[in-house]
A and B are shown apart, each in its own frame.
Chain A
Amino acid sequence: MFARCARRYVSGGVRSRFSSSAVTRGNGSSSSSTRGKFLTWGVGVVGLGAATALYADTLTAEAMTAAEHGLHPPSYEWSHNGPLESFDHASIRRGYQVYREVCAACHSLDRVAWRTMVGVSHTDEEVKEMAAEFEYDDEPDEQGNPRKRPGKLADYIPGPYPNEEAARAANQGALPPDLSLIVKARHGGPDYIFSLLMGYPEDPPAGVTLPTGSNYNPYFPGGAIAMARVLFDDLVEYEDGTPATSSQMAKDVTTFLQWCAEPEHDERKKAGLKAVLMLSTLYLLSVWVKKFKWAGIKNRKFVFNPPTKR
């Protein structure tokens, strides 16, 4: 914009200077050719300048690059991909174990109530036991002293920190996000979560300088993430005997987190199947009815017999 204004100013000045002296010839051809030359040069300089600036920009890992937006995760073949596939509930169950033993040290799961897990990944008894391991605020006693009670099914899963400030203080200022809706909240969904968990290289690539207390992960926008790699082989021991490789744990916890974000998933797909079946049947029926009703009208033959002159 500035360049264009400046160019107009320059060419205007040139034109006025010429018109005062050499305009007597009157056709103004030399003036317009000089102006064209200036225009060409101006365009060339601006274009080259812009190209150089853009090229220089690509040499640094900053704006509008894969490094800034995070590496695009590959699309994995989740067992619940597809319009008719349910969650793998064994995976949800293992994923909860991984969350409880690994992620729950820093990440909360505020929007998930214990009761929602009954009949999904655990039985009634198991969830009751899991909830009772935590203490919740109870009503105060007769002297007004606060009391605690064991958790029950109606309670929500407690987080590791009492509030955001405590969470930041414990993590060098970085806030571990709540994981209830994280799969829906991140571009790439489960693929992103899985890639992020598995995407920590041994060392950051050459030339990358990280702020203190952060780790390199190419899938994280900006590349510098406060969370370190957490999943290592055999970190947990699965009750069903599944080998606890780090990718297995990442897959399970991602499935669990997707269930947290979309607890209605299975019912939704079942209802979708019913709706599509019914609506397509009704659609075909309506097509048939339309054809049936219009058949007589569309097959009419109009005959015009012009009056003959006698």
Chain B
Amino acid sequence: MGIAYNTRINTRIAPHLGKLSLKNLFTYSPTLMLWGGASAAGLLVFIEGWPLFRQTFFQKIPVFGSHWVDDTPEEDKPQ
């Protein structure tokens, strides 16, 4: 009577992308969220001078949105 040896270790590989697994993602999520906020703030700095964004967003900021309102009269703009 032979003894049945279970030679294979019963493992499953967790789903991952490179070193990034679901568990890792979950652990890092607060930090990643903070980095998202930081990069959003960085983006704001760099699009600050862009007329499209000035008109779409910045002018509508409650208190100091008036900074981005172009108060040059129409007659002083070459057009």
Chain A interface residues toward B at CB < 8 A: 115-116, 118-119, 123-125, 127, 153
Contacts and interface: CB of A to CB of B under 8 A. Distances in A.
B72 A124 contact: no
Size range of the chain B interface in the assembly: under 10
Contacts of B72: 119
Contacts of A124: 74-79
Contacts of A118: 76-78
A286 B62 CA distance: 35
Contacts of A123: 75-76
A68 to B, nearest CB: 45
A115 B76 contact: no
Contacts of B74: 124
Main secondary structure of the interface of B (DSSP, over half): loop
B1 to A, nearest CB: 78
A127 B79 CA distance: 11
B76 to A, nearest CB: 4
B76 A127 contact: no
Given A119-B78, A124-B77, A153-B78, 9 more contacts: A118-B76, A118-B77, A118-B78, A119-B76, A123-B75, A124-B75, A124-B78, A124-B79, A125-B75
A118 B77 CA distance: 6
A119 B75 CA distance: 8
A127 B78 CA distance: 9
Nearest to B76: A119
13 contacts: A115-B78, A118-B76, A118-B78, A119-B77, A123-B75, A123-B76, A124-B74, A124-B76, A124-B77, A124-B78, A127-B78, A153-B78, A153-B79
Contacts of B78: 115-116, 118-119, 124, 127, 153
Nearest to B74: A124
Interface in B48-79: 72, 74-79
A277 B75 CA distance: 33
Contacts of A115: 78
* Residue of B72, B77, B78, B79 with most partner-chain A CB within 10 A: B78
Contacts of B75: 123-125
Nearest to A116: B78
A115 B78 CA distance: 6
A123 B73 CA distance: 9
Nearest to B75: A123
B75 to A, nearest CB: 4
State the 4 A-B residue pairs at the shortest beta-carbon distance, nearest first.
A119-B76, A115-B78, A118-B78, A123-B75
* Residue of B75, B77, B79 with most partner-chain A CB within 10 A: B75
